[in-house]
Amino acid sequence: MNKYSSVWVALLGVVVGALAVMTFGKWQESRRMLRTSERDWRKLNLVLQTLDANYVDTVDRTKVSEAAISAALGALDPHSVYMPPAVLEETEADLAGNFDGIGIQFNVPNDTAIVLEVIAGGPSEKIGLQPGDRILKVDDRDIAGVGFPQDSMVRKMRGPSGTKVHLTVLRDGVTVPFEITRGKIPLNSVDAAFMVDDTTAYLRLGKFARTTWQEVSTASSRLLSQGMKRMILDLRDNGGGFFDQALYLADLFLPKDAGIVYLEGLHRPRQDYKASGKGALQDIRLDILINENSASSSEILAGAIQDNDRGTVYGRRSFGKGLVQEPLYFTDGSGLRITVARYHTPSGRCIQKPYSSGDDYAYDIYYRYRDGEMTNSDSVKVDKSEEYHTVGGRTVYGGGGIVPDVFVPIDTTRVSQFYLNCNKKATAMRFASAYFDTHKAELQAISDYSSLARYLDSAGLESKFLQFAASKDGLRPTSAKEWAVEKPYMIVALRALVGRYSKLGDEAFYHLYLSTDNVFAAAMAGDQKPVL
């Protein structure tokens, strides 16, 4: 029996071995079928098909495809991106110069949306919404006092033109319902434009949208009629936008055939853009303000002005975003933005900062703070091996971003404990809202800056704010010495926040803030003129 058992065991081993060989052979055959060259794109398709055919559960093709696309683009550069339909729609609306909605600007100082401004001619103005209204509900959804995210509030109020939305607001202690028919709302890229003295104008540009050139041209015509001989163009915190609008704006200031920018990539031959010489502001003195958040189109404009010695650039090194994205749209409403070239200033500097290390790129602004670049001009990183020259022969350096002609450090003198504590609790913003509640008629009657300044001078904001901070948030300056240091900045902030509730809106806000703006002061001092 043992003899036959041994034979059967041997035979069984042969059969199992043969099956294993056959299985292994089929597995090898399967492996061979999946082999592909790394020089083509079939491998990605094979992976997705294999998942679909073999994965243990049903594969969500949309989710996996979008994850694969995002990962693939993430391996290229920081600005090639995939955008799902909702993201693409929101991004394009922000740059289009208009969007569908109800036409209000609001803030959320204390978990409740408060209307700051009602856009003239928009649906909300027509139906009677007013600054100071507190939005309690959108349709049947409570949004006040429940931690509702601000971006979600925006999405609920926006919608296609012609559709309706119901808002419930609190006004002077009374609940008021509104039915608003959404419409096309203009989005301004010029945040403010006004004269700061008899000959100097200030223009703040928030983004480069489809309407930017038209807005700047309209504002410039008004300022010229008011005596403008010099413009201070504020591009700080302007993250860019449409490339053509940067070209049009540069063309306003530059002489014929002056270089504006050129772009070049592996599949995009060099293409130069030059000024037409027809710009209406060629004789206007120009100063440009930039900071670490000025990017893309802002850098194209600042670089063109600097390289042509057309104006002086003040502030801190710009962001360094000089990659050219082209859009690609899919029928499901999603899209790609793919980097196809790099921007270069007329002298040849590449605007794009290095991005070989993803972590270094993502935390670049943090590193600038850490390494002292925000407070010390000697710490500004430039690549001395990349030396270029302006049309007048001045030396400028590459390495990413636009290095200003006049470095102005970030102002840290206002930072003390009371100031920081008030910022944490949005005390100043909440005070401005509360002040408006009791002085609405007075503020809404003011429509010119001189009248607003006189009103604020006599409003007693200092004592009222200190009382508000103590009673509402339990905050007080630790000493008279601390308050003496903080007072100049805090009072200006209070004036600006309260002034925003007048009919002047954001123009009042920026005008009032200029008195403590050290970058603006540096630009004004360049002409030996007093700061406001």
DSSP-derived secondary structure letter, 241: B
DSSP states along 311-358: SEEEES------EEEEEEE-TTS-EEEEEEEEEE-TTS-B-PPP-SSH
* Residue 233, strand partner residues: 203, 288
**Taking Cα atoms as reference points, which of 228, 207, 218 lies closest to residue 91?**
207
CB atoms within 10 A of CB 497: 25
Residues 6+ apart with CB under 8 A from 37: 43
d(CA 323, CA 296): 8
H or E element in which residue 131 lies: none
**Taking Cα atoms as reference points, which of 368, 451, 456, 437 lies closest to residue 407?**
368
d(CA 414, CA 181): 45
Strand, coil or helix: 408:
coil
Q: Which amino acid is at 324?
A: V
Return the sign of the alpha-carbon dihedral for residues 516, 517, 518, 520. negative
Residue in the structure block whose two tokens are 């302007």: 238
**Cα distances (Å, whole numbers) of residue 475 to 150, 417, 424, 472, 496:** 26, 10, 11, 8, 21
Q: Which amino acid is at 426?
A: A
**Taking Cα atoms as reference points, which of 138, 181, 139, 179 lies closest to residue 163?**
181
Which residues are part of the catalytic machinery? 296, 307, 321
**Taking Cα atoms as reference points, which of 291, 311, 306, 297 lies closest to residue 373?**
291
d(CA 225, CA 476): 47
**Taking Cα atoms as reference points, which of 253, 236, 229 lies closest to residue 404?**
236
**Taking Cα atoms as reference points, which of 354, 279, 292, 346 lies closest to residue 322?**
354
**Taking Cα atoms as reference points, which of 271, 358, 258, 333 lies closest to residue 301?**
258
User: Counting runs of H as helices and runs of E as strands, what totals does the chain give?
Assistant: 19, 21
Strand, coil or helix: 61:
helix
Helices (H), 104-236: 123-127, 150-157, 212-225
State both tokens at 491. Answer: 């009072």
d(CA 471, CA 476): 10
Reduced 3-state DSSP string for 204-223? EECCECCCHHHHHHHHHHHH
